[in-house]
Amino acid sequence: MTTLPAQDSVLPASQASPRRLARRATGADRVFEIGARTVGATVLVVTGGIGAFLAWQSVPTLQRYGWSFFTESAWQPEADVLGIGAVLVGTVSVAGVAMAFAFPLALLTALYISEYAPAGVKATLVSLVDLMAAVPSIIYGMWGYFLVMPHAAAFSLWLHQHLGWIPLFDVQADPDAAVWDQSRYIGSAFCAGIAVAMMVLPMSCAVMRQVFSQTPPGEKEAALALGATRWGMIRSVVLPFGRGGIIGGTMLGLGRALGETIAVLLIISPDFVIKPRILEVGTSSVSALIAGRFGDASAAQLSALLTAGFVLFLITLVVNTLAAMIVARSRSGAGTEA
């Protein structure tokens, strides 16, 4: 046995490609090599071209508006005032709410599947989580809009009444009105965040479960043999081993949450104000801005939208790269294809 497939995943990505051959390829080999190289180059041009195109399109916008493009909250092309300050804050708050819901639930579900579930149903549960990840986002959007939003609004009111002194839970409405004004509590970042949480939850959960399932059984059995309870074993073996997977899976989910469009677009009522009040009606996100404004955009405005898209892409890229690095660097990253 010279090669075990399990060893491949331990090698860093750069070593996974075959070693260089000293002999020059001839005949059919040469055709194959050139053909494969051409395909690779094509894909490189196509995918890299998108990034380059977005960057190139951003230059005039950034020259025109400068730093204020990131701080200005209004999006009024007719008045020549453009900025993504408000939408960036909105994007982050929607993703933040989503992660606040998704992270604990994903962690608990992953722990349940890997440690608590009876062996007979484990495979079914894993498939269910994968299936949940495959459900289109528009369906979660409809679920959030038609089913959850009224209840989320009622919960928002309760939060406002009891925790309204925290700026995060403040709403500019009277919390103790005889008939509460539901329209002040719907269409908020909070409501959108719940739907987005449903979308990112299975993704984070799948990564975490995969990492938990790679915990060396010897160490788990050692903990149990030393008298640990199941939770003691999880706390001392599974969670430390899976720390990289927990962080990486969460960040991968965050990357998805930042770029989510349709569910957010369906639920929020667009508003361009920088505010910390996540329970209040009206917010926006970069992707919802693009989806809402592309149709009537002039060339300059389109370039501004592309710049917003480029900024979103860069944020997602940084988050995803960090996640991949964390998963790969930690001990638990071995053999994980996150």
Is residue 172 within the footprint of other proteins (CB under 8 A)? no
* Shortest reach from residue 223's CB to other proteins, in Å: 11
Q: In the set 10, 43, 74, 81, which binds other proteins (CB under 8 A)? A: 43
Is residue 127 within the footprint of other proteins (CB under 8 A)? yes
Nearer to other proteins, 247 or 290 (CB): 290
Is residue 2 within the footprint of other proteins (CB under 8 A)? yes
Q: In the set 222, 224, 239, 273, which binds other proteins (CB under 8 A)? A: 224
Q: In the set 10, 31, 81, 163, which binds other proteins (CB under 8 A)? A: 31
Is residue 48 within the footprint of other proteins (CB under 8 A)? yes
Q: Name the amino acid, one letter, at 198.
A: M
Give the position of tokens 């977005």.
Answer: 54
Cα–Cα nearest to 207, from 320, 93, 94: 320
* Structure token pair of residue 209: 């479960």
CA geometry: angle 104, 185, 308, nearest 5 deg = 70
CA distance 235 to 228: 10
Is residue 177 within the footprint of other proteins (CB under 8 A)? no
Query: Site mask, other proteins, residues 255-284, x = CB under 8 A?
Result: x--xxxxx---x------------------
Is residue 78 within the footprint of other proteins (CB under 8 A)? no
* DSSP string computed for 173-239: S-TT-SS--GGGTSSBHHHHHHHHHHHHHHHHHHHHHHHHHTS-HHHHHHHHHTT--HHHHIIIIIH
Is residue 231 within the footprint of other proteins (CB under 8 A)? yes
Nearer to other proteins, 192 or 275 (CB): 192
* Shortest reach from residue 167's CB to other proteins, in Å: 25
Q: Name the amino acid, one letter, at 6.
A: A
Give the position of tokens 């710049």.
Answer: 307
